[in-house]
């Protein structure tokens, strides 16, 4: 029996952000486990403001989990009324009904301002609760057609890792859930904190949400990886430089055609798309962690001008850099 429940729910920690993960009969073990690992693991190196974590049972327990595990949670729906962030770690089946009391609890939590995050098939819980109407959302590539046909009011993103709609966040398959959770850590605590968590997990610190779920060669051979991995580090460290395909190809000793083919096979995007995503991530980090002017943010993140930054920032996030900074400061 695996017993999970509230951690550090003491008066001294009541003002800390509370993350609540759902547990249900037929629990998706991996998705649940990664939520616990990222948000529930004690991390004293993060200081006193790190998340509180709790688990809310959807059904009467003990709850069966995949892999022959049974879970007994200490709390129920009352925790959803307290949560700042709620995680739906998969669901027992895309055709399985979502209990009415869970729908009501999620709707109530969303109305009062809680963020709700789904991993993989957990998106169907959010859709059943009516929380995705008119919003972009994604799920595992095996389920995107079912989501689109079952919930036509949802703007289904067919081939991305995750979608951040502010207070509603959805991810593709299991590993993409890690990316989304790290993205949320980055939103809440900045890039350094997300990188620290990623290092403990021994995974890349950041994959942007628009990266494709399926790439033709997800694991490059050792010789190719030894050339492309340092190149990505170089590109990330020199965002303000102008990188042409010809220069990048020469740096790794490939022809332009071979370089473009292998870069996209390894990352799922073109060099230009990869650079844009990295520059936007850097701009967001600077807007969140400093008070430097937008022109300087544009320069440091590689956009060259505030006008270019505003154009791409608005297209990707639906907000200007200034309005984004203000929203983050007063969130």
Alpha-carbon distance of 82 to 90, in angstroms, equals 21
Alpha-carbon distance of 165 to 12, in angstroms, equals 32
The residues facing 2 across adjacent strands are 71
Alpha-carbon distance of 122 to 251, in angstroms, equals 43
181 catalytically annotated = no
Query: Could you tell me the two tokens for 76?
Result: 């129920």
Cβ–Cβ < 8 Å for 106, 86: yes
Cα–chain center distance at 241:
28
Residue 226: cis peptide before it, omega within 30 degrees of 0: no
Alpha-carbon distance of 231 to 264, in angstroms, equals 13
Cβ–Cβ < 8 Å for 289, 190: yes
Query: Could you tell me the two tokens for 80?
Result: 């959803």
- How many other CB atoms are found less than 10 A from the CB of residue 162? 29
Alpha-carbon distance of 126 to 103, in angstroms, equals 8
Residue 137's SS3 state is: strand
Q: What residues have CB less than 8 Å from 212, skipping those under 6 apart?
A: 159, 160, 161, 268, 269
Cβ–Cβ < 8 Å for 21, 57: no
Write down the catalytic residue from 28, 96, 120, 181.
Answer: 120
Give the number of residues written for the chain: 331
Residue 52's SS3 state is: strand
List residues with catalytic annotation: 120
């Amino acid at each position: 029996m695996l017993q999970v429940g509230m951690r550090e729910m003491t008066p001294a920690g009541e003002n800390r952000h509370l993350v609540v993960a759902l547990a249900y009969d037929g629990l998706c073990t991996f998705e649940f486990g990664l939520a616990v690992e990222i948000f529930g693991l004690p991390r004293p190196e993060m200081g006193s403001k790190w998340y509180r974590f709790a688990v809310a049972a959807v059904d009467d327990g003990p709850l069966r989990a995949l892999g022959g595990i049974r879970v007994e949670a200490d709390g129920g729906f009352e925790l959803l009324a307290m949560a700042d962030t709620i995680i739906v770690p998969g669901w027992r089946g895309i055709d399985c009904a979502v209990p009415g009391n869970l729908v009501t609890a999620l709707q109530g939590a969303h109305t009062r301002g809680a963020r709700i995050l789904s991993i993989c098939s957990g998106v169907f819980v959010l859709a059943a609760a009516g929380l995705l109407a008119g919003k972009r959302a994604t799920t595992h590539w095996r389920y995107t057609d079912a989501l689109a046909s079952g919930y036509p009011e949802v703007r289904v993103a067919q081939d991305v890792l995750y979608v951040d709609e502010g207070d509603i966040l959805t991810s593709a398959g299991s590993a993409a859930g890690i990316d989304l959770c790290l993205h949320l850590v980055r939103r809440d605590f900045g890039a350094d904190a997300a990188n620290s968590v990623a290092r403990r997990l021994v995974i890349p610190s950041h994959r942007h949400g628009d990266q494709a779920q399926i790439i033709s060669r997800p694991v490059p051979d050792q010789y190719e990886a030894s050339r492309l991995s340092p190149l990505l580090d170089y590109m990330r460290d020199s965002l303000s430089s102008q990188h042409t395909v010809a220069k990048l190809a020469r740096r790794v000793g490939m022809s332009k055609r071979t370089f473009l083919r292998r870069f996209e096979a390894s990352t799922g995007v073109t060099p230009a798309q990869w650079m844009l995503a990295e520059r936007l991530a850097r701009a967001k980090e600077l807007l969140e962690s400093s008070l430097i002017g937008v022109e300087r943010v544009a320069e440091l993140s590689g956009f060259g001008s505030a006008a270019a930054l505003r154009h791409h920032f608005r297209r990707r996030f639906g907000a200007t850099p200034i309005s984004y900074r203000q929203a983050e400061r007063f969130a």
